[in-house]
Amino acid sequence: NAGVTQTPKFQVLKTGQSMTLQCAQDMNHEYMSWYRQDPGMGLRLIHYSVGAGITDQGEVPNGYNVSRSTTEDFPLRLLSAAPSQTSVYFCASSPDRATFTGELFFGEGSRLTVL
Binding site for another protein (CB under 8 A): 33, 35, 41-45, 48, 58-59, 88, 90, 94, 97, 100-106, 108-109
Nearer to another protein, 75 or 109 (CB): 109
Radius of gyration from C-alpha coordinates of the chain: 13
- For residue 20, the minimal CB distance to another protein (Å) is 21
- For residue 24, the minimal CB distance to another protein (Å) is 17
Nearer to another protein, 75 or 102 (CB): 102
Nearer to another protein, 33 or 85 (CB): 33
CA pseudo-torsion sign 19, 81, 52, 25:
positive
Residues 6 and 20: beta-carbon distance below 8 Å? no
Nearer to another protein, 14 or 101 (CB): 101
Alpha carbon 24 to its chain centroid, in Å, reads 10
- For residue 111, the minimal CB distance to another protein (Å) is 8
- For residue 108, the minimal CB distance to another protein (Å) is 6
